[in-house]
Structure 1
């Protein structure tokens, strides 16, 4: 699939889609989001390794990609590094996607009843942005397969 660089298509958005297309990176982002919602000020590499059950070199490789795309920030404390999710790059994707979602659902958008305890504002916004970006990526792939007749 080739994405065209239209005038209103934000720079680097293709890179964001490439970054979040990887399942391990999505798992890391979800972990960081969950821990942020729990009030953690950052998550160490060793905590990510432990919680996701993947090797330290693999986690470090994916964190580097996430850091370069500015989806995570890092805070150093001596020899340890603590990672936190950054939602700003996903907001660009969200802003671009909203017109498609409105066109797709219009007034028939499904109502979602969330009877869970509310997330803090920042975490709720990050979850919404990330969810929309992931749903859109899934939709793009499904549409591409339909066009290919698969």
Structure 2
């Protein structure tokens, strides 16, 4: 399997992952190749090539219905990236203290998954805004 960092280094693949995340958050149960082509404005062969790489890295799953294939995001491999990035943004001692001070009961599994998706979407949006501001020289 390819190194996850090599896989997500490509901008088109990141765009596909973000599209699949948005659609999953909207309750979609898979996105067709043609929908990805239309939304991203990228050719079908290019989308198919990138989906193959994402599938091999287990970042997407595919469901076949007749001649149509529907792709969904699989976030588990991104935990490796998350684990690698966290130390750059959070002091581990502060994080341990913060977690220890929390007394709220654990969320039910569906709520925890939703909270995680919202958190990842917020982090992604923050990154997009910061990148745009850097490009604008702000």
TM-score tier (shorter): 0.5 to 0.7
Displacement of 1:88 in angstroms is: 0.2
Aligned partners of 1:49, 1:39: CA distance in 2, in Å? 20
Displacement of 1:122 in angstroms is: 3.2
Aligned partners of 1:127, 1:103: CA distance in 2, in Å? 22
Can you give the 5+ residue segments of structure 1 that lack an aligned partner in the other structure?
Answer: 1-11, 108-119, 136-150
Which one scores higher on RCO, CA 8 angstroms, separation ≥ 6? 1
TM-score w.r.t. the length of structure 2 is 0.68
- Call closer, same or farther: CA 1:16–1:126 in 2, change over 3 Å: farther
Contact 2:25 2:117 in 1 (8 A): no
Displacement of 1:124 in angstroms is: 4.6
Residue of structure 1 equivalent to 2:113: 122
Aligned match of 1:88 in 76, 85, 106?
76
- Call closer, same or farther: CA 1:16–1:36 in 2, change over 3 Å: same
TM-score w.r.t. the length of structure 1 is 0.63
Aligned partners of 2:48, 2:118: CA distance in 1, in Å? 23
May I ask how many residue pairs the two structures share in their alignment?
Answer: 110
1:26 aligns with 2:14: yes
- Call closer, same or farther: CA 1:71–1:123 in 2, change over 3 Å: farther
Question: 1:91-128 CA distances to partner (integer Å, 9 max, x unpaired)?
Answer: 12212322332239x68xxxxxxxxxxxx753552464
- Call closer, same or farther: CA 1:67–1:126 in 2, change over 3 Å: farther
Aligned match of 2:56 in 68, 76, 79?
68
Residue of structure 2 equivalent to 1:103: 91
| Worse overlay, 14-23 or 76-85 | 14-23
